[in-house]
Amino acid sequence: MIGAARRDWLLTEAPASRRQARLGQSYRLWMAFSRNRLAMVGLGIVLALVAMAIFADVIAPYDPLRGGGLRTARLLPPSAEHLMGTDDQARDIFSRIVHGSRITLMVVALVAVIATPIGLLVGTCAGYFGGWVDTVLMRITDVFLAFPRLILALAFVAALGPGIENAIIAIAITSWPPYARLARAETLTIRDSDHIAAIRLQGASSARILWGHVTPLCLSSVIVRVTLDMAGIILTAAGLGFLGLGAQPPQPEWGAMIAAGRGYIIDYWWVATMPGIAIFVVSLGFNLLGDGLRDILDPKART
């Protein structure tokens, strides 16, 4: 908790410096976000995922790649010794899910890092320059949008070969078009504004205008869209793993774990159900977080 004096300093209507203005705006956004209980639940789930990935070696009670004796520890139901049971190789499912959070977080982070700049670059250039540049870039974007993401990712992975690295590349290649569309729409509303015209009259280059003034104004909307897309990215990665084109055994990837347990779904339900619940909870967390960010970052929603 911050003191009353610090709170008044942050919420003042007449900030004395840019730093104070930025901190005050950030504090107002945090207060608005914290009032959304579902968004806080989503933030808690995401932070738990990050913590679980960082401290997986401490949290997991067993080796995720090696099992116990196949005669005595194979396909055991959930118990105090094995919280989520064991799989067909006598490996502890809870330990594999904990270590699998690292793969999930890595996929989400790398796809966001790769796809977001591509979408911003394509969208802002198309919206700012217009004309044939807009036509060419948007037609390329339409080609990618014409195919379902999972089908297009399957095609790229089939061409590149199975593996988690190729799966990340394929998902990133198929994820940028919505960001490009959003950035283009935002740029079209910004490029003819008075402050952009004033900057242009001062002699600023197109590159400086794009990256120094247009892109920051598009960034909040794109961040919200990226956060909302995290669940789709997780599901796509799990789908590739389920089909054997993502992370390869014995890596503890959640989609691959479901695929390995589908043959035991009737008699040994926990083998496939536990990683499925993990995918559901994490996807729900990113959706709730994205909804909360949209409520506070959308300029049309602000009062």
Q: Which 3-state string (H, E, C) describes the chain?
A: CCCHHHHHHHHCCCCCCHHHHHHHHHHHHHHHHHCCHHHHHHHHHHHHHHHHHHCHHHHCCCCCCCCCCCCCCCCCCCCCCCCCCECCCCCEHHHHHHHHHHHHHHHHHHHHHHHHHHHHHHHHHHHHHCHHHHHHHHHHHHHHHCCCHHHHHHHHHHHHCCCHHHHHHHHHHHHHHHHHHHHHHHHHHHCCCHHHHHHHHCCCCHHHHHHHHHHHHHHHHHHHHHHHHHHHHHHHHHHHHHCCCCCCCCCCCHHHHHHHHHHHCCCCCHHHHHHHHHHHHHHHHHHHHHHHHHHHHCHHHCC
Per-residue model confidence (pLDDT) at position 56: 93
pLDDT surpasses 70 at 76:
yes
Q: Is the pLDDT of residue 1 over 60?
A: no
The Cα–Cα gap between 163 and 284 comes to: 26
pLDDT at 78 over 60: yes
Whether 303 shows a pLDDT value over 50: the answer reads no
pLDDT of residue 298: 65
What is the model's pLDDT at position 299?
53
pLDDT score of 5 more than 80: no
Mean pLDDT over 37-64 rounds to: 93
Residue 172 has pLDDT above 80, yes or no: yes
Asked whether the predicted pLDDT for residue 300 surpasses 60, the reply is no
> What share of the chain has pLDDT > 90, as a percent?
43
Mean per-residue pLDDT, 129-143? 91
Mean of the pLDDT values across residues 33-57?
93
| Mean pLDDT value across residues 171-188 | 91
What pTM value is reported for the model? 0.86
Tens of pLDDT, residues 79-112: 999 899 999 888 999 999 999 999 999 999 999 9
197-202: average pLDDT = 81
C-alpha 49 chain-centroid distance: 12
**Residue 15, pLDDT above cutoff 80:** no
Residue 110: predicted pLDDT? 93
The residue-averaged pLDDT of 5-10 equals 75
196 confidence band (pLDDT: 50, 70, 90):
confident
pLDDT for the residue numbered 57: 92
Question: 222 vs 282, which has greater pLDDT?
Answer: 282
- What's the mean pLDDT when you consider all of the chain? 87
